[in-house]
Amino acid sequence: MDVIKIVTPKAEPGQFALPVMDVSGVKRKFLDLPYAVNAGKNQKLDIYLPDEGDGPFPTIIFIHGGAFWGGDKQDTQCVYLMNGIRRGYAVVSVNHRLSDEAKFPQPVFDVKAAVRFLRANAEKYHLDPKRFAAAGNSAGGYFAAILGTSAGVAALEDLSMGSPDADSSVQAVIGLFGVYDLEMQSRFTEESEPTAMGNMPAMKMPNFADIFAGITCRDYPELMRLTWPGSYVTKDCPPTLIQAGTADEIVPYENSPELVERINAVCGDGRAIMEPFEGKSHGHPDFGTPQNEERLFRFLDEVLKK
């Protein structure tokens, strides 16, 4: 979209800089809002609104990927859904504590606190608290999924972080090439060969699932069920759209249909939709085409704009 520009900041000597969104062209926005009591640098979010109207707007809450240790709310990952502000949606991009600072379940506490903050302040920011969608890619898909499946699970929520009287439920979920099953991810990473990404040389991916969990996930399969979004599915699970590449070299494709099958087993066929991208790799450009953007917003419109 022409209102959003992609720029690459100047890097410090010996470092490289990743592209970010230049959002100066967005007329109505609220940046770097702290969503938690005594919020740290990674416990903030950005809100973008359509140019016109008072709302309340259905709201897309986007959580970035980055193997749980990287990524940022203003990097280019959010571009997948930023066109929402031209389609009558508010778009929120959320940061959370990364795995060098916090382990499971603390980052889950963060994203749930962010949702509670948004619901508690919905009128102030022109959001519709009854129409929240969670979306994320890669590791961000994990947080979107667990927001969808675990509403009301006290063990995954720290109400002392703020807005304790608001709930953290969402009414729709989108997961793009997401990490959902940490045990499966741990085994997949351990068994994977060195992988080349972009112009970088082939390298062995650190076992980011183990780093996020703080233990060797594959050694504790029963404990890892407590981290799997599928363990918390109830009949109230919101409509969910999952997309993943069948040739994903970073995240095992099989963890996507596994989650979809679990949701549908509890809620009935069709509550979750699995859309495989045949032969596509992790974060393949096909996920960001105008055609797929239309697909994502068709799903959101069907769920949130009936």
pLDDT at site 156: 98
Burial class (CB in 10 A: 0-12, 13-18, 19+), 249: middle
- Residue 196: pLDDT above 80? no
Question: For residue 174, what are the contacts with CB-CB under 8 A and spacing of at least 6?
Answer: 81, 133, 134, 135, 136, 144, 240, 241, 242, 243, 296, 299, 300
**In this structure, is residue 11 part of a structural domain?**
no
Lowest mean pLDDT segment, chosen from 1-5, 111-115, 177-181, 188-192: 1-5
Asked if 291 contacts 268 with a C-beta cutoff of 8 angstroms, the reply is no
Determine the average pLDDT of the residues in 31-52.
97
Pairing of strands 20-22, 44-49: unpaired
**In this structure, is residue 229 part of a structural domain?**
yes
Per-residue pLDDT band for 79 (boundaries 50, 70, 90) equals confident
Tally of domains within the chain: 1
**In this structure, is residue 185 part of a structural domain?**
yes
Ramachandran angles phi, psi of 157, nearest 5°: -140, 135
Determine the average pLDDT of the residues in 243-272.
98
CATH number of the domain encompassing residue 262: 3.40.50.1820
> Mean pLDDT for the chain?
93
**In this structure, is residue 206 part of a structural domain?**
yes
Tokens representing 103?
């382990």
- In angstroms, the Cα distances linking 239 to 33, 129, 221, 234 are 28, 17, 27, 12
**In this structure, is residue 21 part of a structural domain?**
no
**In this structure, is residue 10 part of a structural domain?**
no
Per-residue pLDDT band for 203 (boundaries 50, 70, 90) equals confident
Range(s) of the domain holding residue 168: 29-304
Per-residue pLDDT band for 173 (boundaries 50, 70, 90) equals very high
**In this structure, is residue 2 part of a structural domain?**
no
Cα–Cα distance measured from residue 13 to residue 136, given in angstroms and rounded to the nearest whole number: 32
**In this structure, is residue 270 part of a structural domain?**
yes
Cα–Cα distance measured from residue 64 to residue 93, given in angstroms and rounded to the nearest whole number: 8
Per-residue pLDDT band for 63 (boundaries 50, 70, 90) equals very high
Question: For residue 210, what are the contacts with CB-CB under 8 A and spacing of at least 6?
Answer: 186, 216, 217
